[in-house]
């Protein structure tokens, strides 16, 4: 395909993209982009809570120069987001970025991104995930995916009849990966070298799909940034959420079919109420998450990994050092960041799983005794929500494939002043090369040179992992060895990269290895 020919024939019809300039920052080449490409039919009417169906085939060249609609979602005042595109039902879209010289047959590495947002918000068109920098400087094909969120993607209605499917948000991602397998070669990518990567809820989908037989062969590597890997629940918990949703809508279980006809505004309003109430009533728990449905998922992903039953693909997995600080800053109840919330969480665990030999709150607290009271609560929240699930996953998955564990510690002067430091999601502009974008305030108090150097190292390692399944850094940087016992290597990403050994020994000893389904 010549550079000036931006029309690509997909399995559903031709699409025309655009040549876009490099993003702000250090030099990067021009990039081609195709935006808003359909991979699924609009999930409306009978399809609202069903697995995605293929889109209708088209013959005229479809314009792919603007982002498509994003999944309908409520607005959360404490989590303001610019979604980058209007909301709409026809949201099963994806975006492709490729180097300007990419041609069919080039077989470049492919990186498929899943956005975060607590399973209830976010989109592939957020400015943070502009693929120009990663594609242009890394010589890779980048794909960002919309999937259904909130009640539309992660409420389980399947117990109410055959009209509903389970885990439809996961099924959206599987459909998008199927589209990549069938079409990415036409954009210059290699369908055999697809790396699935995501952050927060997006990383949760990544780690969940590692446990799904249906995902086998759809990706050859995975990167999970701050995955809530244990936030996968059983049908009992899922049914409580579904019942609460119906009750607030004034519907009996026998009337669940009416959900397909209700105005979207009513569903969003009620789902927001359920989302807000669940972590208040049950600290540490989310309302809308993947579930063990006996179809896509037979068991909890961490438990399957510990049994050596996850998909044997290389994995990068890690967290940020101060994850919970973001939730304190936003005054969000999503994480148990106060002593009372942590106590409530432990009480709930004991009541719900009386036969499970769990460490007590006091035993856990002893691992954090060197910290002040508020810092102790934040550290416990960070570890219960993100760090320990990632460590448990690494311990298990290392039995079937190479695992590379990291911890992101770097913080700019502004983030240090705000006392959030390396909080949840602060690594994102480093991965994407979007530092200093118009709505990114992290460099307001300086630190640009050091931050750009961190970003270059992270992107180099991520791209090299996608290219050859090994996260090598730039020349002269330390070798990042796979996570293996007893060394348990961990890359510490800070002003300088260092490799440490068994940095999680204290908390691993405190938390144990049995709490794989406690959240």
In which element (H, E) is residue 113 found? strand 108-114
In which element (H, E) is residue 472 found? none
Could you tell me where the beta strands, DSSP code E, fall in 321-454? 403-408
In which element (H, E) is residue 491 found? strand 489-493
Rounded Cα distance, 391 and 57, in Å: 44
Of the candidates 166, 310, 323, 377, the residue annotated as catalytic is 323
Tokens at residue 308, please?
């050596």
Q: Is 200 considered catalytic here?
A: yes
Could you tell me where the beta strands, DSSP code E, fall in 290-428? 315-320, 403-408
Of the candidates 23, 231, 395, 424, the residue annotated as catalytic is 424
Rounded Cα distance, 497 and 477, in Å: 7
In which element (H, E) is residue 53 found? none
Instruction: Name which of 394, 422, 421 is nearest 407 in CA terms.
Output: 422
Q: Is 479 considered catalytic here?
A: no
Of the candidates 124, 200, 310, 390, the residue annotated as catalytic is 200
Q: Is 397 considered catalytic here?
A: no
- HEC string for 216-256: CCCCCEEEEECCCCCCCECHHHHHHHHHHHHHHCCCCHHHH
Per this entry, what is the length of the chain? 519
List Cα–Cα distances, 328 to 106, 299, 333, 337, 416, in angstroms: 46, 32, 9, 7, 14
- Active-site residue set: 200, 323, 424
């Amino acid at each position: 395909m010549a550079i000036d020919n931006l029309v690509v024939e997909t399995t559903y019809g031709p699409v025309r993209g655009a040549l876009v300039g490099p993003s702000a920052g250090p030099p990067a080449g021009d990039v081609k982009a195709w935006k808003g490409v359909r991979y699924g039919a609009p999930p409306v009417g009978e399809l609202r809570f069903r697995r995605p169906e293929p889109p209708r085939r088209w013959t005229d060249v479809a314009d792919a120069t603007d982002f498509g609609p994003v999944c309908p979602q409520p607005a959360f005042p404490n989590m303001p987001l610019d979604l980058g595109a209007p909301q709409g039902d026809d949201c099963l879209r994806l975006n492709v970025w490729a180097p300007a010289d990419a041609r069919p047959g080039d077989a470049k590495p492919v990186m498929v991104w899943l956005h975060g947002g607590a399973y209830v918000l976010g989109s592939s068109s957020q400015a943070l995930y502009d693929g120009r920098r990663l594609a242009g400087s890394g010589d890779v094909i980048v794909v960002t995916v919309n999937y259904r969120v909130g009640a539309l993607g992660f409420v389980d209605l399947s117990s109410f009849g055959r009209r509903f499917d389970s885990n439809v948000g996961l099924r959206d991602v599987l459909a998008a990966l199927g589209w990549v397998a069938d079409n990415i070669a036409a954009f210059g990518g290699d369908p055999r070298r697809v790396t699935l990567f995501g952050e927060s809820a997006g990383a949760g989908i990544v780690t969940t799909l590692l446990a799904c037989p249906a995902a086998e062969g759809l990706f050859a590597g995975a990167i999970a940034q701050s995955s809530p890997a244990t936030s996968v629940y059983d049908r009992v918990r899922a049914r409580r959420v579904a019942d609460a949703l119906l009750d607030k809508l004034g519907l009996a279980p026998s009337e669940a079919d009416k959900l397909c006809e209700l105005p979207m505004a009513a569903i969003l309003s009620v789902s927001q109420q359920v989302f807000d109430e669940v972590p208040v009533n049950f600290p540490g728990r989310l309302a809308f998450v993947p579930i063990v449905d006996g179809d896509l998922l037979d068991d909890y992903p961490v438990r399957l990994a510990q049994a050596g039953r996850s998909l044997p693909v290389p994995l990068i997995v890690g967290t940020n050092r101060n994850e919970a600080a973001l939730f304190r800053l936003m005054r969000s109840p999503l994480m148990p960041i106060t002593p009372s919330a942590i106590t409530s969480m432990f009480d709930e665990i004991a009541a719900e799983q009386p036969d499970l030999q769990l460490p007590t709150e006091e035993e856990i607290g002893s691992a954090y005794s060197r910290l002040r009271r508020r810092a102790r609560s934040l550290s416990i929240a960070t570890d219960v929500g993100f760090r320990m699930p990632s460590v448990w996953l690494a311990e298990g998955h290392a039995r079937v494939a190479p695992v590379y564990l990291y911890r992101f510690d770097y913080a700019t002067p502004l983030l240090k002043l705000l006392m959030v430091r390396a909080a949840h999601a602060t690594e994102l502009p480093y991965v994407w090369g979007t530092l200093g974008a118009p709505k990114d305030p992290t460099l307001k108090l300086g630190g640009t040179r050091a931050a750009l150097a961190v970003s270059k190292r992270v992107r180099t390692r991520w791209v090299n992992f996608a290219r050859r399944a090994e996260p090598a850094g730039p020349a002269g940087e330390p070798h990042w060895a796979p996570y293996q016992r007893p060394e348990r290597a961990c890359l510490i990403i800070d002003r300088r990269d260092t490799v440490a050994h068994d940095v999680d020994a204290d908390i691993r000893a405190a938390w144990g290895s049995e709490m794989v389904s406690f959240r």
